Structure formats: structure tokens, C-alpha cells
Amino acid sequence: MDHYFIDNGLLENYWQGQRRVKMLARDYSGFLVKENQRKKIQKSGVKVRPCICISRNIGVGALEIAGALGEMLNLPVLDREIIKKISCSADLSRQSIETFDERYPGKLKELMCQVLGERIFGMNDYTRHLFYVSFFIAHSESVIFVGRGIHLILPRDQVLAIRFVSSRNRRVKRMASTLNADEKEASRLLSQAEKEQQAFFRLVHGKTKAPSKEFDAIMNLEYINPPEVAARAISELFKSRFPDAECFAS
């Protein structure tokens, strides 16, 4: 069997459970109402390793915390890196995949693949590959996923699902600082990004809200600083939830 390495993005040709996951991915991408499909995932029996899935308000600072958490637990952090994995799985360029990633793929964006000289690739294709790649990565090793609603895909009993929130005012200030822009422009960009994120979750996961019951913990970052403080708390939660995880073996 060929091997998969998280650093170079290769996907092995076969792994136990692959056929079942591909069928689940096909069904998940094909149904508008996803809840029944998520129940099937929980009963599928496909084995994955314990993972952390981070959901967040746009601009809240999730990547800083995820980075600190990854160092504490010695786990890879996957945010935009997953685009590389999907592009390998779909045999498309990263530029094509990025037109769908947490953004509403209007008809103009769906034509991007043709402009780039690649085969037509729609939102259902993106969903199917996101599903498959997320399962494959989690099957291979424990990781920290940031964004894209992966906690809604993987077996819930093997996921520590965390959501970060904070006030819009704080997020606008953070975005203004990051982009070196004034707060008015940062607010406009934040509103646009939020609309794209909402459309992504509606199209990929059939969700319009992120109810608290989806998560193990919701952290308000308004008064939690520095990032290592939040990371340390999540690290303890993960160790308590999955004391036998292989990443703790030494």
C-alpha cells in the first residue's frame, strides 16, 4: 500500500474503509438535508484517530491559538493546507479549489476551472473531496482542523469540537491591524467574509447556524489572552477526553 504524508499532500491509493467513505462522501454531497447523512456517518464504523476541530467567527484569532495548541500537543494544524490535499485528490490546481473554499461559488466562480483549462468542478465536487480528504487525514493521524465545518463530517465521538467567538468590534480591530487598513474598510471586508462563510456552510453542510450543542466548548476570546491561555485549556480538554490518543505516547 502506498503511503500518505501530511507534509507533501500525497494520498495513498487504498486504505481500509476507503470505499465506504467514498460512498458516504457521495451521499453527503448529493443531499440538501445533511442531518440524516450525519447520522449515517456516526453509525458507519469507519475508524479515525482523535482530532480537534476548531470553528470560529471570522477574524477571532483562531489560527494563533491553533498554532500554540499544535506545539503543546505536537499535532499538525490544517487550515489552508487542506486545499493542497483537496487539489491532490481532485487533480486540480489549488487556484481552482480556492474559488470554492469557504466562499459561495457563484456561476462566475464555477467557470474558473474552464478559464484555467481544467475540467468543470462544482460545489458538490468540492464537498465530496473535502469529506473524503478530511476522513483520510483523520484516519492517518490526529490533527487540528481549523474551519470548514469538519466537526460536522467526522464521527463525533472521535472529535473535540471547539468554537471561538468574540465581539464584532474586537474582530474589526484585529482585521484592521492585520490588513493595515482603517476600521471602516476592515468592517466592510469582515461583513463580506461573513456572508461568504454563511453561504459556504449552507451549501456544504446545510447549516445556517452553529448551535452550542454541536460543540464540546465555546470560548469567548474577548478577555482570554494571550493565545497560549486558550490553547492550554483546550489541550487539557483533549487529554481528558482522549487519554489514550497515540500522540501522547512517548
Residue 42 pLDDT: 84
| Residue-range definition of the domain harbouring residue 73 | 18-241
Residue 247 within a domain: no
Question: Is 11 or 52 the better-scoring residue by pLDDT?
Answer: 52
Residue 29, pLDDT above cutoff 70: yes
pLDDT in tens, 146-157: 998 999 999 999
pTM above threshold 0.75: yes
Residue 7 within a domain: no
Q: In the chain, what is the straight-line distance between the N-terminal and C-terminal CA atoms, in Å?
A: 26
- 13 pLDDT band (50/70/90 cuts)? very low
Residue 3 within a domain: no
Residue 102 pLDDT: 55
Residue 10 within a domain: no
Residue 144 within a domain: yes
- pLDDT (mean) for 102-106: 46
Question: Is 184 or 101 the better-scoring residue by pLDDT?
Answer: 184
Which residues 6+ apart lie within 8 Å of 196 measured at CB?
102, 103, 104
Among left, alpha and beta (phi > 0; psi -120 to 50; other), residue 206 is left
- 91 pLDDT band (50/70/90 cuts)? low
CATH code of the domain containing 82 = 3.40.50.300
- pLDDT (mean) for 74-92: 73
- 15 pLDDT band (50/70/90 cuts)? low
- What does DSSP assign to residue 220? E
Residue 249 within a domain: no
Residue 2 within a domain: no
Peptide bond into 226 cis (omega under 30): yes
Residue 164, pLDDT above cutoff 70: yes
| Highest mean pLDDT out of 1-10, 91-100, 121-130, 175-184 | 175-184
What is the number of structural domains in the chain?
Answer: 1
Measuring CA to CA, which residue among 108, 120, 137 is closest to residue 6?
137
Residue 62 pLDDT: 94
Residue 156 within a domain: yes
Residue 16, pLDDT above cutoff 90: no
Residue 240 pLDDT: 94
Residue 165, pLDDT above cutoff 90: yes
Residue 108 pLDDT: 44
